[in-house]
Structure formats: structure tokens, C-alpha cells
Chains A and B, each alone.
Chain A
């Protein structure tokens, strides 16, 4: 039966195999004098063994179909917001990035009133910039026109 543990175990096993494949690029050394590829190979082996054990005993875990994904739209949107932030942060600056991120999350995803969206976006963007950059001297990227 396809259970949560078995699916998770298979994913971990595939990851372990991928690591072993990638590890070919580094000298393994010997058991008495390990090289840079030795430890990753050993750990990938342990991960593969544990993944097999998870698959073996995973029949008792809940069925895969019992998983609900009610929050998946939110999750994908938030991850998209994170990706946008990583792309935009050093291009358009911290303050503008945060304004756009919060507007996206509150207006597009949460459908909040424009007044709430604008107040939250400006408050968070300017407030956190003031606290971290101005008060705590943490360097945050600036955008066009030093904004």
C-alpha cells in the first residue's frame, strides 16, 4: 500500500542515490585515510539504509490519500513571494521589495481592503528598514534613487 512513510522513504532513497552519484567527483581516499568524498558517501549510505528501513516499516503509517492539501494554494503563493524577494532584493532594494511582497500577499492572496494593504505594506517596509538599517546598522540593499 502507498503510505506517507513509504513515499517519504522513496524520496529520501532517491536523494541518497543522487548524492552518491554526485560524490564521484571527489576522491574517496581510503578507510584509514579518508578523502573529501568519504564522509558524504558514508552519510549517503546511512541515509539510504535508513530510507530503506522507513520504507520497510512504513506500511503502518497513514495512507497517502489521507493527506489533505487545503493550504497548498497559499503555500505555493508564499513560496513564490519568497522567490520574488530573493530575485528582487538586490535589484530594486529592500523597501520596494517588501512593499511589493506584502501587497501581493495581502491584496492578491488574502483579499484585504486597500487601506489595510497600503498601511501594512508601508508600515512593515519603512518600519523594519528603520529598525534594522538605521537603528541597528544592519546593511540592507537600496534600490533606485537610494530608496
Chain B
């Protein structure tokens, strides 16, 4: 414990240095804007800003990108509460009761509760990250290729199980992503696969054009032709203070949202999105007045907003400790670390302590910065929402192009972005989730390499996956989850997600009812 505090003290010395502070602040501001603007989620935001981080040190770059990630969670609540438009997907649930509070004249308290809940959850979950990541990394040092195969397969199974839509659809998207990840030179034999003579594809398909296309461009394609934005309500500073009863109603949902969000964050999947749905469902179930949900229940704002902030720290645990991204956002952040020559994984904390502890400390500081930004300055930020979308989307498109082009200086990436934008548009029209594709693209090379290394080590014996206890346990859990998640296909009503209102149709219904 003393060693942890010493390391944290060292981290604060890095995080409070002016050069790091500036970029942490910039990340928080950009994140808040990214979260507020419909059509630019944290994934697209981080992908777009990736080239801007190339000139920075690894620590400063990750501090800035992490700031964008959790800043977006704060910012997303503002448009949800004031305009009933989720700035990013994790804020969908906040729309329901947040906007209902606004219509009752309680926009200020709703914003204050969302920001306070986000602050508490953000800070406590960093404590969790700080305490959990080092022992997990030490444990992961005993992992060999078979354990990594099992871990990656378990991750994909959990992703399918936790996803909002149907399991076969999620697994088909993961398989599609893994197939896209097969493009390029096979590192073990030198064969160039599916590159059709395009030299740029020899290194594989990049995560940034895939992520920007599937999330950023597809959102523009879906939104650009639609109606004008509704009127923006601008609350005054003096109206922000919640009443005593509102604080009382918010305390337990914030606590539960923090714990739930952190735990769900560790599990692979779009953690910040799922956590807010689960938190909302749990709060509604535990409430003495479930009929108030949808009519402006404080718990309907406090729970999901705390959960999605807590999930951001949880999602960094497997990335920093194991080198395995738990979702598309940590995957892009991992790509950023690799660009800077840092290999995420069990050795990261030992080899790059200044990076790990600097990022941890900067998250404490960033949460305070965001609390300050999101309450008194909310009036300033909402002015941005007055820009009409027909002017906004060409700007987002230009940022997408420059962000994607700058990674490798190649127009092939711009083509990939456009193709992925079209694919994402069609998939979303047909209610397919796109997050598993991004994760698949990142995991594919690791999975293939670990599988072939495992077989080489064991002279081609597949028993290596069941004779090693850690690998066998993870594969066993994955298999149980797979079978359990396929159960609803045979027995209708056996799906826990449907009971919690998490199933795809239920989510779509909620969005339609907004």
C-alpha cells in the first residue's frame, strides 16, 4: 500500500507538470465537446485526435486521449438533459429522465447531479484501476500463448453475451472484424492475404480508418438528411443547485452506478454504453417508485451517468494490465501507445511506471477539471449546439479525412474510411452492432499468432488449451457463456437482457419513444 502511494505521488509529480497539465486540460475540453456533439462519439474523437498526439511524449499523448474518453462521458449528459439528444451512445438513458427534469424546470439540478455523479464515479473508479491493474498485470506474467488464445476467445464470448442485440448478430460482426484483421502479410509464412496488389494493405487494415468510418462517417450518413435540431435550453448558474430531496435520491444510485460501471467496464464490450443501460434497469427495479422513471426520476440520471464514467476507468484495466483491449476505444488507445513505442501488457507497469502512474494521477486531476468545466461553463458549451448540423457535418467530415490520412499519409486509408462508413451505415440500418467489428480487427492478429504459437509449442496438440489450468478455466467460462447466450434462441423469455430491458428491440423502442 505504501509503495502504491509512493508511486501515486510520483504520478502526481508527472501529472501536475505544466506540459502534461495543459494536454490533460485540452483532452478534457475536447472530450466534453466530443461528448456534446451528436455524431462525434468518444471513439471517433480519439481516432481523429490520434495524429495530433504523434508529436507528444507517450505519457502526454495517453493522458490527452484518456481525457477525451472520460471527458466525453461528462459532455454527453449535457445534450441528453437539455435537448433530449444523446451526444454519445452512453447517454441515451440519461435522455429519458434528464429531459423530463428539464421540462419540469429542473435542468440545472439534473446537470449538477449528472456532473457530481460523474465526478464521484470517475474518481472512485480510478482508485479501483490503481489497485486492480498492478496485481492483475503481475498475474498475467504467467500467461503464455495458450492463455492469450483463451483470454481473447473469452473476451469475444463476453462481448457477444453482453451486447445489446442478438447473440448471432454480435458474433457474426465479431467474425467479420476478425476476417478484416486477416488482411495483410501473414507474419509466419510471408503470404500476402487479400491485399490484391495494394501495397498499403500489406501491413493490414488500420484501426483508425475502420473506427472513424464505422462510427464517425456512418453517423453523418444517418443523421445528415434529418430534421433540424430542437431549441437549446440554457440554464443559469444559480439554477444549478439540487434540492435536499434530490441529493438524497441521488446518493445510492451514484454508489451503485459506480460499482456496476467499474465491473462492467472490465468486461469486454462497449462497456460505457452497456453500463448505463444496466444501471438504469437496476435503479428502476430497486426503486420504490418505478412509475416515476420516464417522468424525471433523479435516479434515472444519477445511476447511468455515474455508471458510464466509472466504466471508462474499468475499461482501462485489461488494456493497461494485460495488453488486451476490452472494447473499441481502449483498442484505439492501445494503437496510440504502440505508435509511441510503448507495448501495453503485463510488463507496462514495471517498464513504464511514469506512464502508468502519470495517467492514473492525471485522471484524478482531470475529473476535478471536468467538474469545474461542466457546471459553471455549461452555458458556454451549449452555444456550440446552436451551429446547424448541415454546417457541422462537413466540418466533422473534414476532421475525419485529415485524422485518417495523417496516420500513414495514405489515401488508401481514406478509401477504407469511406468503405467502412458505407458498411457501417448499412449495418446500422439493418440493426447490426458495429463495435464488435472494430474489436475483431484489433484482436485478429493477436489471436492468430497466439493460436499458431500454442500449436507450435505443443507439437500440434490442442490439449494444450485444456491441460493448462488458467487457459482451461477461461475457455470453460467462455463456453458456458456461449451456450447460455444461445439459450434464448430456443427458449423465448430466457434472456436476462430482455428482462432488464437491454435487448436490442427494447433499446430501439426506447430510442423511438424519445
Contact = CB atoms under 8 A, between A and B. Distances in A.
Interface of A: 4-5, 7-9, 12, 15, 19, 22, 26-27, 30-37, 39-40, 43-44, 46-47, 50-51, 53-54, 57, 61-62, 67, 69-75, 78-79, 81-83, 85-87, 89-90, 94, 98, 101-102, 105-106, 110, 112, 116, 120, 124-125, 128, 132, 136-140
- 5 shortest A-B CB distances, which residue pairs? A32-B460, A71-B225, A74-B225, A50-B172, A82-B418
A56 B247 CA distance: 49
Contacts of A83: 415, 418
B448 A32 contact: no
A26 to B, nearest CB: 6
Nearest to A106: B394
B183 to A, nearest CB: 9
Given A36-B188, A138-B406, A50 B171 contact: yes
Given A57-B166, A69-B429, A86-B415, 8 more contacts: A34-B455, A39-B182, A40-B182, A81-B397, A128-B399, A136-B54, A139-B406, A140-B402
27 contacts: A4-B430, A5-B166, A5-B430, A5-B431, A8-B432, A12-B172, A26-B191, A32-B461, A33-B456, A34-B452, A36-B188, A39-B182, A54-B166, A57-B166, A67-B429, A75-B225, A78-B393, A79-B221, A82-B421, A86-B415, A89-B401, A89-B411, A106-B390, A120-B391, A124-B395, A136-B54, A139-B406
A89 B176 contact: no
Query: For chain B, which range describes its interface: under 10, 10 to 19, 20 to 34, or 35 or more residues?
Result: 35 or more
A12 B168 CA distance: 12
B411 A112 contact: no
B452 A78 contact: no
B64 to A, nearest CB: 12
B226 A112 contact: no
Contacts of B427: 8
Interface string B386-407: 0000110111011101100110
B179 A19 contact: yes
Interface in B175-228: 175-176, 178-179, 182, 186, 188-189, 191, 193-194, 217, 220-226
Nearest to B403: A132
Contacts, number: 182
Interface of B: 51-52, 54-55, 166, 168-169, 171-172, 175-176, 178-179, 182, 186, 188-189, 191, 193-194, 217, 220-226, 390-391, 393-395, 397-399, 401-402, 405-406, 409, 411, 414-415, 417-418, 421-422, 425, 427, 429-432, 447-448, 451-452, 455-456, 459-462, 489
A46 B444 CA distance: 14
Contacts of B402: 94, 128, 132, 138, 140
A57 B456 CA distance: 39
B391 A54 contact: no
A4 B431 contact: yes
A140 B409 CA distance: 7
B226 A71 contact: yes
A34 B456 CA distance: 10
A46 B390 CA distance: 41
B176 A140 contact: no
Contact of A85 (B391, B401, B448): B401
Contacts of B398: 98, 101-102, 124-125, 128
A26 B18 CA distance: 54
Contacts of A79: 221, 418, 421-422
A101 B394 contact: yes
Interface hub of A83, A85, A106, A139 (most chain B Cβ within 10 A): A85
B179 A50 contact: no
